Structures are given as C-alpha cells and as structure tokens.
Amino acid sequence: MMPVVSAHGLSQRYGAVAALDDISVSVPAGQMVGLLGPDGVGKSTLLDLIAGARVLQQGRLSVLGGDMRDAAHRRHVGPRIAYMPQGLGKNLYHALSVAENLEFFANLFALNAQERRSQIARLTRATGLHPFLDRPAGKLSGGMKQKLGLCCALLHEPDLLILDEPTTGVDPLSRRQFWRLIASIRAGRPHMSVLVSTAYMEEAEGFDWLVAMDAGRILDSGSPSDLKTRTGTGDLESAFVRLLPEDKRRNGTGLVIPPLTAAAGPPAITARGLTRRFGDFTAVDEVSFDIRKGEIFGFLGSNGCGKTTTMKMLTGLLPMSAGQAHLFGRPVDAADLRARKRVGFMSQAFSLYGELTVRQNLDLHARLFELPRDRARERIATLVARFGLAPHLDLVSGDLPLGLRQRLSLAVAVLHAPEVLILDEPTSGVDPVARDAFWDLLVDLSRGDGVTIFISTHFMNEAMRCDRISLMHAGRVLVVGPPQELAAASPSGTVEESFVRHIEEAISNGGAGPPAADAPPQIAPDLAPNPAPDPAPDPAPDPTAGPAPDPAAAPTPLTDPTPLTDPTALTAAAPPTVRPPIRFSPRRMAAISLREWREVRRDPIRLAFAFLGSIFLTVIFSLGISMDVEDISLAALDFDQSPESREYLSSYYGSRTFSEQPPLLTRDDLITRMAAGDVAAAIEIPPGFGRDLKQGRSVTVSTWLDGANTTRAGTVEAYVSGAHLAALQDRSRRAGLDPDDLAVYEAHSRYRYNPSFESIRAIAPAVPAILLMMFPAILMAISVAREKEIGTITNFYVTPTSRAEFLIGKQIPYVLIAVLNTISLSAVVTLELGTAMKGSPAALVLGAFLYGAAVTSYGLLISSITRTQVSAIFAAAILSMMPTTQFSGMVQPISTLEGAGQWIGQLWPASYFMHLSVGTYTKGLSFAQLLPDMMALAAFTPVFLIPAILLLRKQGK
Amino acid sequence: MTSLRHIFWLGTKELRAVLSDAAMVGLILFTFTGMVYMQASSMPENVNNASIAIVDEDNSALTRQIANAFYPPYFQTPDHIGAGEVIPAMDAGRYLFALTFPPHFEAQIRRGHRPEILIDIDATAVMQAGLGDGYIQTIIAAEITRFLTGTDTGTDTGTETGTAPTVTNEIRRAYNPNGEMSWFNAITGILDFLNLVIIMLTGAALVREREHGTIEHLMVMPLRAAEIVLAKVWANGVIILAAFGISMTFVVEGWLAVPVAGSRGLLLFGAMLYIFAASSIGILLGTIARTMSQFALLVLLVVMPMMLLSGGTSPVESQPEMLRFFTNLLPSRHYISFAQAVVFRGAGIDIVWPDFLRILGLGTLFLLASLAAFRKSLSAAG
C-alpha cells in the first residue's frame, strides 16, 4: 500500500534552532499513527508541514501522493486533509456558537446546505455536542472544545486526519470519550489515516504504528509491540526512554517519594465554604479543605470545573463571593504584601517575561522579592544547578521549549523560598521525561524543605504521587482522600476509574452545580443503539491490549468495551461529493464574511465604541475645530493719550473681534504681557499722534502681534488691518466725508457655498472622512493580526481558502460597517448644520462604500506586514493619523500644501472622500459632479488590496 | 524605598521589552524625526499657492496689470477663464478664488463710474477664504492706485487709502517675524506624535500583560498595583522623553532651524510632566479595555480630540464655551500653551507654572483613576 506520507531529508530551521533535522519517514496509510516525543522536538513542526500549514525549507515531502511544495497539489489535497492544531480549541472561533463554527467549516469545504445539515446533525449527535449547538465555543469545556474541533475537521470526510496533541489539558473522562469517538469514526471510515501526536504514553499503546522523535530526529518507528520488543521493555514509556540517547535518560527509573512526616501546628491552607460567582454562574461552590504543612495536595477535575478559580482565590487574585480561606491561620488578604512573600504561585500559562533571558527573569524576581544581593546570587546559583538551567541561562526564555519554561517558572516561584506553592497545571503539555524531572523537584521541595504544595493536574500518575487528592466537578469538591485509597475503591483499581465514576455520578444526580459549560457531555444519549451494526471491517487495534501494570495508568481508552457512540451514525450518510478545488469561490468568501460579521456582532462593546465614539467625535470636532475668530485680546500702549488716539482705538474695541485688555504702560509691560500670552495684539500709538494728525502730518502707529501661533497670528493680522481701515473711514465720516464717495471702484466678495462663512459648514462634513479613515482601518488591521496571534489563521493555511477569499471575505463586513457609520454620521452632521443635505445623497452613500473599501484595504495592507495586534495598531494609527488630519484638506486645501504633504494628500483616500462629503453638504453638488471623487476612491482599493493579497502568506513560516 | 526599588526594577523589564523590539524602536525614531519634519514643513503660510482664476471681460491694461500682481508664493499664476466657467470650476474645487472684471472696467474707472469687481470665494476653505479675500482686496487696491497715480495726476483715491493725512499701521509679529509656519507646526507635530506614541505604548504594554497572564503573576508577588503602573510610566516615559529630546535637538532646532527662545531645560521638564500625564491616560485606557481591539478604539477616541482640540490645529479661543471647559481637561491643550510660551516667547517658570500644575494635576487624576480601576479589572478578568 502506498504510504500516506513520505518524507525524505526534511530539515526545518528557525534561527539557530533546528526544529527538524534531516527527517525521513514513510507513514503507512489507513492506520492510526502516533507521533511520540518530548515537547519541542519538532512534532508540531512536522505535522504543520504535512498539513501544508508551513513553508517547507529543505527536503521532500509527499502527502496523499503529491509533492507538498507544489501549491497546486496543496490546493488539490487540501480538502482531503483535516488538521487540528495544538491547543484547546485553537482553530475555533470562540465568540461563535457550536453550530456557527460547524457551518463555517462546512462552507469552507463547499458542502451544500443539505449535506451540511446532515453532517452537522450526525457529528454533533455522535459527539454529544448536539444539545449545545447554540453555546459559544469559548464557553465549552476543554474536552468539548476538542470534540468540536474534531467535528469541524471531520465535516468534509477527510482521508488524512491530523491531530496535534488533541488530549493535552483535557480531563480523563473527556479524554476517554474523545478516543472512543476516534475509534468509532475509524470503524466507519477504515481507509482514513489518522496522524496523532501525544504526550500520553498510555494513549500511544493503542495506536497501530508509532514514530518516536527527539531533538528534531526520528528515533525509531514501528508498531507499539515492535518498539517494545526492540527495546526489550514492557511498556512504551520505558521503551521511549530506552530509545533516547544515553545522556537524556533519567538516572534511576522511578520516582521515590519519602513518606510525609506529620508536621505539628495548624494547617498551611484552610478553606471553608469558599464560593465564587461570576454573575449568575457559580464557578466555585462551597469548597472546603485543609492542607497540612509539607503536604502535596493534588487537585483534579475537568477543565473549567473551578480549580483555577479556587487557586486564584487562595492567592488573593480573585475576591471570594462567600466563605473563608486562611493561610497559616491568617485570613487571605489581597492587600497583605507580607503574606504574598510566603506563597509561590505558578499559573497555567507561562507567565514570565518571554522577552527576557532566563538569567534576567531570575534576577528581576529576586529584586522584586527583595532578596539581599548576596543571598539572591547564592539562591539563583542553587536553583540554576538544581533545575538544570545552567546551559540556558542567556537564552531568551520565550524561545525555550515548554518543559524548560515550566522549570524556569517553578524556579521563579520558589526563588524566595515560599512556604506554600500553588501550582496550576504546571505539567500540562510537558513530556513525560520533563514531567518526571519536574516532580523530582517538587518532591524535594516538599520533603526536603517542608514546602506545602497545592497542585492541579490532569495526569493520573501525577495524582498518584500526591499525599492526598481532591476531585472537583462543576465547582464542587466531590471527594478528598489519599489517591491509593480512592483508587482501591474503584472496580478497576485506578484513580482514573474513580474519577470518571464520581463525575458520572455527580452528573446523574444532576444537582451538582448548574448544567454549565463544564459539565462533560454525555455521549450521544439521544441515539438509539443500532441493532445491526455496520458491516464495515473493524480496523480498530487489538481491543485486548493489556492494561498497564501501574494502577495509575489509565486503561487504554481504545479498549473500552462499551461503544457509547453508534458507529453507524458516522457512516450512515453518503459521503459528501468531492468537488474539484476552485481558485476563487464566492461561497467560501461568503462563509468568511458571515463568520467575521458574527464575530463583530458578538462584541457589542467594540461596535458601540466605533459607532457612538465616532458620533461623539463628530460633534466635538465640528464644534471645536473652528477658525472663526472672536475676542482677540488687544491692548494699547498709548503714549499720546489724546482724544484722537482714543478715537482711533475705539474703532478697534467697537467690534466683537477684539476684547479690550487693560492698557499697557511701558514697552516692558508689553513684552511681559505678550510673553505671558495675555495679549495677542498690542497697538502702540506714538506721542504726538493727535497733534500731528491735526497738523496734517502723516503718522505711523505700530502693532505687535503674538506670532507664536503662526496660523492665529495670520488671522489676527488680517483683522487688525481691517480694523485699521475701518478706523480711518470712521475718521473720514466724522470729518463729513463719505469714504464710499471717494472710491473709484467697488469690490464685492461673494462667499460661495457658505455665505455666513462659518467654520462648522466646512468642518462638520469633513470630520466623518477623518473618522471613517481611522476606525475601519484599525478594526480591519486588528482583525487579521488577531487571527495570526491566536492561531485561527491555521484554518486559512490548511483549508482550500485562497488569499483573496480570505482577505476580501473578512473585509466585506467592515465595509458594511463603514457605510452604516457614514449614514449615522450624516444624520449627525445634518442635525448640526440644521439644513438638509444640498447635494446628492446617493453619491454620498456610494462614496462611503468606495471609501470603506479603500480604507479597509489599507487596514489589510497594514495587517499583512505586521504580525502582532500591538504592531498592527501602532502602524495603522501612526501611519494614517498625519495624512488624514493634516494633509487631506480639512484645514488647508491640498493644493496649498508644500512638498511631501501635497503628494501624500493627493495620494490619500481621505482627501477624496472629504471633498465628496463637503461637496455634498455644503456645495450641493450633483452625482455627476462628484463622479471624479468616486472614481479616485475606487482606484485606491486595488492599490492597497493587491499588495495586501500578494504579501499575505498562504503558509506559515 | 522598597517601593522605589520595585518600580525601578520592574521598569528595567519594560525598557528591555521595548528596546529589544527593533521594529518598534525604528518606528518610534521615524515618527519623531521624519514624520515630525514632514508635518512641520508641509504646512504652508496662511495663504499659500492659492488657486485663482480671472474672468477678464475688459482685457485692458489695468486688468492685465492687476492679474499680473498675483504670483507665487501666495497665489498660483491666475488662469483666465470664461464667465460661464466660474461656477462649474469652483464646484469641482479647481479654484479657491475667482475675480471677475466687468467689460469697460478701465474706462469706467477713468470716468469715475465706480465699476464693480466680483470676487468669488470658496468659503469651504475656511482658513484661506477670509485671509485670501483680504489679500486680494489689498492687491487690487494697490494696483489701481498705482495705475491711477502712474498715469493720472496724483489723486489719492480708493477705499483703502482713505483721506489725507494718512495714518499707517505697521504690523509686526513678535517671536516669529516672518510668520514661518514650520515653527509652530513643529511644536504641534511633536505633541501629536508624542501623545499618540506614549499612550499607545503604555496602554498596550498593560493590555498585553493582561492578555498573556503576566499581570496575575505580578499581583501574587509582594508588589502594589501602583508600583506596577508607575514602572510602566517611567520606563516608557524615559524612552519617549529621549525621543522628544532627539526630535527637539536634531529635527526642530537642527533640520527645521526653529530658534528656541526659552530654556531648553524648562521645556524638557514640561515635556516630562506631559509624558507622565499622557502615559497615565494610556494606563487608564489599558485598564478599561478588555481586548486589544477595544483598546485601539479607545485610543482613537481619546487621542484624536487631544490632537485636534489642543489649540494646535485651530485656536482654542474659537471653541464654544462648553467645549472649552472640556478641552481644559486635555493635558495636550496645556502642553501647546506652555510649549509655545517657552519656545517662542521665551517664557520662564514664573509664566508657565500654572500650565505645569494643571498637567501634573490631570496626570495624577488619571493615574488615581486607573489604580482604582486596576484591581476591579483584575477580579473581573477571572
């Protein structure tokens, strides 16, 4: 049989790190293939390459019979591959409901409406997601997210299903359900190949074929029994360790935990009736426990059952809604800084500073915990040695593999020698070897230093290492006790069994908390068992694979004899017709638009900011940006003090333009008061002004203007000149001469479009152009950058979606928003101006559409050259702020700008929409007259969009 | 003391984070050099290069003489168009001004018939229209006077020249005698970018810290919220203050050759206070925003008024009373006020201290508000 994947000499380097180092492997088709190995050995990179999500650097890779370098082949096989990247719900859209997520993926793969409905119904019934179709994906438990991810991947009936650590961070019950689901799917689709990477060796026991990896290389491959035979070991965990190079094996096979010597004194941690509510949702419900000093207390429970919330309350991060918690007999008080020094906390995610090196992180924390310098040096040296960080001291911690990062986090958490350590799933996603090393440290801290450890975990073998564990479900503690006792009480003698039973019991009692998102779904309860199972051959692995000898290890999920899922549910429907891939599919684009629109709608705050915010800004800008000058502060330095000088000055003060300030006494006075900004203009009348005038001599007065603000000085100058002329005319009139009679011509100024010459008539219609440039562009840029940051961009990489479909699809909702925003702002402007729009409203709406398209294309261009949301915001705001506010003609017509400003203004879309908007409102222009603006606006879209499409990569790097 | 140490060490982390991002440092440098220069140098004089058309139905020596009086840099060389073209051309925005001389204009003047010149002005160009009108009237008056005095016996006529004896008003500008726009625009330009960059930098640092969960990590350490916040303020502040110094020295004083009348130390001190106030605003926005996109929108909502209503674009005196009260709450308004006083008028601390005090007060207010919101946002985030 032809291998489904064959690789020759694959190498992939990132900086100095070789993620894959000359890998050659052939993966047999139609099998369940496992990819094993510690974290950071290149498993995800390899899977990314196989799925086509990354650009191949070196070597040859053929998947489903074609070269993955070939874009045409990728496009062709794309619909036959399904990829679920690592991370709970990583490729899901959390704001969208279960049904909407499924619909989106169905549309991407061009299922027709009927296929879509039947596939969604089948898959959700089979996975037990059917009752939760309307729940947002973000509110599902981890296990349910993974099931939804699986449904999304299976909708189009792929031939190759790639799952990257699908059960990491998932509780045992959900994990068990997940593998059962996979088994039944394979039963229904025997020719489908499944490629899985996993950190759980017990899961790997059930696979058909395994590839063991380390440090970017393949150690060995073959069936589990092959590997075990070859290494002469009884279980995969030991087999894997045996395959590792000598220096990487752990010395000593097992972990020895000395018994806990009962410490005297009060418990380290006590909780009584601890409760936390978020709105009407009770996350933690009356939780009580005592943890003795030096004890390792394990906290188990499904995702989202309230473990993290409980831990946060104990650290004071979250205030409790009810109940009490004590640390060392003192109530937990968030404000008590001294108590914080006694506690070390390590949260689920890596929460150190990724941009700092290992050494810098340790140093910083030593400083913050106020360790004296010599003690800090000594402590850091000890920890570096003990945690094996020495070779990595000067590496940037964000680049370290997960296992190392977790070790560093722990080192930081114990740096100040706390008496209590609170660790929230510290080993999630860490490979077995690194996990054992981590536990060595924990045991040492507990038994050696007497540190009380409160730890949450999903690993049952870790649970067995605790002194006591508690099982939590839906905000309640179900049971507390030593793990061995709990295990013994269950029929199969495993903690996992005990765990699953307690939860199932709690669910069937129904009273255990609200049927919240964290309730594990019951598998297909609504499916009647089919009496005549599908006669498809059963490719499932040997269902009698022996149970692991360690009671901690779970029975391999695939061996579960009770098929909860009806296999026919997964095979009954006719497989959707496979359509040849199309380069540009309006349907896929529509699917992307619909999804984007739904996501936007789910964030009403963002929409409200955009709409109400722009209305608010329109109002204040159109009122506030005004060139109308009144009340120019004017003072006189009158050296003459004659009736003539007073008469001259009174002509100035007579108008509303100037406001009379107390007279100036000396030149120094003038200088001081002008420097203080008290007077904008000062008129100096020379001595003898009146006398000279009477004697018929020409006289000169001088005016000083505050020239600091050049624009304003120009305006003031014009007003002063005007007032001076008026003063002279007044004088002539008093002398009995009508100045008009002396004029030889008349000049009539007609202020067109704005006869009353008010700023607001020109500014108000211009403001929407500014706001519509900024808001949609930034929203657009963030929307793409966000996909890159949270990882949903993978859906674009691995589905047949083309670059144009992706970008234009995302763009459409924002163009629509821009048009709606224009209409709402138009209403505001119309209200403010108090007159109806004089020109063509159709031109304004069409212009808004073209402008919206141009502006969002600009946002897309920005997003295609930035990687993070922060840089997208920065670039979008900084690069567009100046051209929009300064060079688009709001205050200064573009033709009057100089140099670069004029060029930028002419090449900036805001200029044209501003012209169009002012033309519509104030000039009353018709559609035909505004056509040139619209054409210019239309030209911007391709100018921005085409480079954006070309710069967007269809694969990750 | 302990607090100060915490603030210092946390701040070094912030410094490293920003300085290790080469693209960000590059963008900041470009903003404070190239973009400040562009904004300052592109803005023209009040009336500059204004487009003007002339409808000359007389075509006499006088009208030609007047037409020739319009030349760069104030006006573009006038286009001669037909009477019917005025309205369509102005509708299309081709001309800001259009002069119409009636037939027999010169002859009528000579006969003392007072012919009428029509000046059409595009009043949607609010800044140019009024000033340009004045310039045009002055030019026409001067040319007609010259024409009449040059040919006729020296009758001193024209509306503008009034009656003998004459009073002339010599208008001089203090601080910027030639009215160079780039001087004031340099100060406004620096403010605009200073504002935008510092608010985004501090706020985004906080939002990112929350998105990555590192903020919780800090909150379980013996650190106060105030220490975390102040560390961000000083670290980002130092970066921007350095950028401000570079911009003032090399771009404003060097490249644009703007003379600084007052004390540079005082200016830097004021900028420091301003950066404190603006970064407090950034922190406040970063505390309120739940996601990066909300933060971006909030920044726009706050930064744009800070830029456009500060008095840098249009005079604050022109704002309606109600709005003036509101803009008093914008630190940027006080920045423009003190910066122009120090740079151009050479004002000392005795004059600008009220502005400093207001900026400091507003900054403190924003900082306290963000501290109050800080704890609340943490507990809501769970």
B128/A318 CB distance under 8 A: no
In this prediction, residue A580 carries a pLDDT of 54
Residue A712: count of CB within 10 angstroms of its CB: 24
Q: Helix or strand or coil: residue B36?
A: helix
Residues of chain B contacting A882 with CB distance shorter than 8 Å: 35, 38-39, 192
Closest CA to A195 of A67, A3, A382, A350: A3
Cα A629 from chain centre: 47
Closest CA to A784 of A838, A856, A685, A683: A856
Q: Is the pLDDT of residue A511 over 60?
A: no
For A4-51, what is each residue's pLDDT tens digit? 899 999 998 877 778 888 889 888 888 899 998 776 678 888 999 999
Element (H, E) at A504: helix A495-509
Of A355, A616, A875, the CB nearest to B17: A355
Average pLDDT over every residue of A137-146: 81
Whole-number Cα distances in Å, B7 to A367, B225, B231, B239: 10, 10, 5, 16
Scanning A880-919 for CB atoms below 8 A from B yields 881-882, 885-887, 891-893, 895-902, 904, 915, 918-919
Q: Does the CB of B228 have a partner CB in chain A at under 8 Å?
A: no
A312/B317 CB distance under 8 A: no
Q: Which residue reads 């040096």 in tokens?
A: A377
Scanning B294-313 for CB atoms below 8 A from A yields 294-301, 303-305, 307-309, 311, 313
User: Model confidence at B364, in pLDDT bands (50, 70, 90)?
Assistant: very high
Rounded CA-CA distance A855/A772 in Å is 8
User: Model confidence at A248, in pLDDT bands (50, 70, 90)?
Assistant: low
Residues of chain B contacting A617 with CB distance shorter than 8 Å: 301, 304-305
Q: Which residues, listed in sequence order, are joined to residue B174 by a DSSP beta bridge?
A: A706
Q: Does the CB of B23 have a partner CB in chain A at under 8 Å?
A: yes
Six-digit token string for A233: 């070991």
Rounded CA-CA distance A273/B314 in Å is 62
Contacts A–B by Cβ distance under 8 A:
478
Q: Which residue out of B66, B76, B124 would a mutagenesis test of the A interface target, given it has the greatest number of A Cβ atoms within 10 Å?
A: B124
Q: Helix or strand or coil: residue A449?
A: helix
Six-digit token string for A512: 């255990």
Region of residue B251 (phi > 0: left; psi between -120 and 50: alpha; otherwise: beta): alpha
Six-digit token string for B153: 């016996």
- The DSSP letter of residue A357 is B
B32 within 8 A of B245, measured Cβ to Cβ: no
In this prediction, residue A252 carries a pLDDT of 47
Nearest residue on chain B to A633, alpha-carbon basis: B317
For B31-44, what is each residue's pLDDT tens digit? 899 888 888 888 77
B140 within 8 A of A747, measured Cβ to Cβ: yes
For B324-362, what is each residue's pLDDT tens digit? 888 888 999 999 988 988 888 888 888 889 999 999 999
A677/B351 CB distance under 8 A: yes
B316 within 8 A of B305, measured Cβ to Cβ: no
B216/A312 CB distance under 8 A: yes
B174/A763 CB distance under 8 A: no
Rg (CA), chain B: 28
Q: Does the CB of B344 have a partner CB in chain A at under 8 Å?
A: yes
pTM over 0.90: no
DSSP string for A809-841: HHHHHHHHHHHHHHHHHHHHHHHHHTS---S-H
Rounded CA-CA distance A540/A556 in Å is 13
Residues of chain A contacting B165 with CB distance shorter than 8 Å: 692-693, 696-699
* Residue ranges in A535-603 assigned as alpha helix (H): 567-571, 586-601
Phi, psi of A547 (to 5 degrees): -65, 145
Q: Which residues, listed in sequence order, are joined to residue A685 by a DSSP beta bridge?
A: A638
A771 within 8 A of A829, measured Cβ to Cβ: no
Residues of chain A contacting B219 with CB distance shorter than 8 Å: 316-317
Q: Does the CB of A252 have a partner CB in chain B at under 8 Å?
A: no
* Residue ranges in A189-306 assigned as alpha helix (H): 201-204, 224-231, 236-243
B42/A901 CB distance under 8 A: yes
How big is the CA angle at B287 (ends B285 and B293), to the nearest 5 degrees? Answer: 60
Rounded CA-CA distance A573/A563 in Å is 20
User: Model confidence at A560, in pLDDT bands (50, 70, 90)?
Assistant: very low
In this prediction, residue B363 carries a pLDDT of 94
**How many Å lie between the alpha carbon of A41 and the closest alpha carbon of chain B?**
24
A472 within 8 A of A512, measured Cβ to Cβ: no
A68 within 8 A of A52, measured Cβ to Cβ: yes
Closest CA to A632 of A649, A652, A651: A652
Domains of chain B: 2-43+180-381 (no CATH), 52-153 (3.40.1710.10)
Rounded CA-CA distance B224/B220 in Å is 10
Q: Is the pLDDT of residue B149 over 80?
A: no
Average pLDDT over every residue of A423-452: 81
In this prediction, residue A532 carries a pLDDT of 36
Mean pLDDT of chain A: 82
Residues of chain A contacting B47 with CB distance shorter than 8 Å: 714, 896
Phi, psi of B355 (to 5 degrees): -65, -45
**How many Å lie between the alpha carbon of A479 and the closest alpha carbon of chain B?**
25
Q: Helix or strand or coil: residue A198?
A: strand
Q: Helix or strand or coil: residue A692?
A: helix
Q: Does the CB of A355 have a partner CB in chain B at under 8 Å?
A: yes
Element (H, E) at A61: strand A58-63
Six-digit token string for B256: 């644009």
User: Model confidence at A676, in pLDDT bands (50, 70, 90)?
Assistant: confident
In this prediction, residue A861 carries a pLDDT of 94
Q: Which residue reads 């307690």 in tokens?
A: A502
Q: Is the pLDDT of residue A567 over 80?
A: no
Q: Is the pLDDT of residue A556 over 70?
A: no
**How many Å lie between the alpha carbon of B365 and the closest alpha carbon of chain A?**
22
Q: Which residues, listed in sequence order, are joined to residue A136 by a DSSP beta bridge?
A: A97
Rounded CA-CA distance A401/A122 in Å is 39
Scanning B24-43 for CB atoms below 8 A from A yields 24, 27, 31, 35, 38-39, 41-43
